[in-house]
């Protein structure tokens, strides 16, 4: 008989939804890291952990996905539950039904939902209207599941998080926003190297600096990529042309070309620095092939941890009482 998941005291203060890392208390973030590590070890040893037997997860994706969709589907199955894909074209949202009506109805059918969309306001509306947990699978503003799984990878490979320096190079996009929020929760130094006009959301930076007062984290934004990566423990980059930005391709390639993560840039980091990229990658654009495929790259390890962190997120949120805030 599979034991029900146990949670530490105080889980009534946990966020019902995962919209951004910033909205989660630090205790919840740290609990997710512990739970993900435990579930990963169980998976590696072949120990059954069907903690969500009888639960059903909805997946509502408006953007293409490989890692997010597969890791949530596979993770839900490994946890003993069922994942139900909801193509936008197949449900009444595509014909004008309101988010409010859809969220209220689906909350009666499902135990949680993952939404991957463009406008962050959409997941915020779902959170307001749904009584089930709402998980942000990616918006133009943030990618919290990615950042949380990245913390797991860094912790595994570096043995700690607090005090480490993470340099993010390139476009200050949704991934950069979430890495700033995540780093602030665990006491990291996060340095964003990006050109003027491509900085992360200033509101994200301001809030993260407030969180950093309690954790010892620091957030910096610089234009010079050589300055950003100096003595970094982790060097991170992401695509320059995110989904929905294709019309800006020529301009972005021109402006961001000095921010390519290549061997010359990597040499400015610590000798044992790890290279991270959330994938998919474009070799020769935001990262050179020799760095992406080199000995310091941990991108496959990083991608695997999406599965384990997704399982921790599902276990934590879907085990909370429905409707709890």
Question: What is the Cα–Cα distance from 257 to 172, expressed in whole angstroms?
Answer: 14
Which one is catalytic: 28, 78, 146, 260? 146
Confirm whether 146 is a catalytic residue: yes
- 307, containing H or E segment: helix 299-318
**Which listed residue (278, 302, 308, 316) is catalytic?**
278
| Catalytic residue selected from 67, 116, 252, 308 | 116
Active site residue 194: no
Cis peptide bond N-terminal to 280, omega within 30: yes
List 69, 277, 306, 308, catalytic entry: 306
Please report, for residues 25, 143, 190, 274, 291, the alpha-carbon distance to residue 271 in angstroms, rounded to integers and kept in the order given. 34, 29, 18, 9, 13
> Any catalytic annotation for residue 282?
no
- Verify whether residue 238 is a known catalytic residue: yes
Considering the candidates 17, 207, 238, 308, report the single residue annotated as catalytic.
238
**Residues 27 and 299: beta-carbon distance below 8 Å:** no
CA distance 287 to 170: 10
Phi and psi at residue 319, to the nearest 5°: -90, -10
> Is 252 an annotated catalytic residue?
no
| Residue of 49, 143, 207, 252 with catalytic role | 143
Could you tell me which of 136, 119, 180 has the C-alpha nearest to residue 19? 136
E-strand stretches of the chain: 56-61, 82-85, 112-116, 134-138, 165-169, 189-193, 218-222, 234-237, 274-277
Which residues are known to be catalytic?
A: 116, 143, 146, 238, 278, 306
């Amino acid at each position: 008989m599979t034991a029900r998941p146990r949670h530490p005291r105080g889980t009534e203060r946990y966020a019902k939804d995962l919209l951004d890392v910033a909205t989660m208390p630090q205790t919840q973030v740290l609990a997710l890291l512990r739970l993900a590590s435990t579930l990963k070890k169980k998976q590696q040893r072949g120990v059954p952990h069907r903690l969500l037997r009888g639960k059903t997860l909805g997946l509502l994706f408006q953007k293409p996905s490989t890692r997010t969709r597969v890791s949530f589907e596979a993770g839900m199955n490994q946890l003993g539950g069922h994942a139900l894909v909801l193509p936008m074209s197949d449900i009444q949202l595509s014909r004008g039904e309101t988010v409010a009506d859809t969220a209220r109805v689906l909350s009666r059918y499902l135990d949680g939902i993952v939404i991957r969309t463009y406008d962050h306001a959409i997941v915020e509306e779902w959170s307001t209207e749904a009584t089930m947990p709402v998980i942000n699978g990616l918006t133009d503003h943030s990618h919290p599941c990615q950042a949380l799984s990245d913390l797991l990878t860094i912790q595994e490979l570096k043995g700690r998080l607090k005090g480490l320096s993470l340099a993010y190079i390139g476009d200050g996009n949704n991934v950069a926003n979430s890495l700033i929020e995540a780093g602030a929760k665990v006491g990291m130094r996060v340095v964003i190297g990006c050109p003027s006009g491509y900085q992360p959301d200033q509101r994200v930076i301001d809030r993260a600096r407030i969180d950093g007062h309690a954790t010892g984290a620091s957030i910096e934004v610089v234009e010079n990529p050589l300055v950003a990566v100096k003595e970094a423990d982790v060097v991170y980059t992401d695509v320059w042309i995110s989904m929905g930005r294709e019309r800006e391709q020529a301009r972005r390639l021109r402006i961001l070309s000095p921010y390519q993560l290549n061997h010359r840039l990597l040499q400015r980091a610590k000798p044992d620095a790890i290279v991270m990229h959330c994938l998919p990658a474009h070799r020769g654009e935001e990262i050179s092939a020799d760095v992406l495929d080199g000995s310091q790259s941990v991108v496959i390890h990083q991608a695997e941890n999406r599965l384990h962190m997704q399982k921790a997120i599902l276990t934590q949120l879907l085990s909370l009482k429905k409707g709890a805030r």
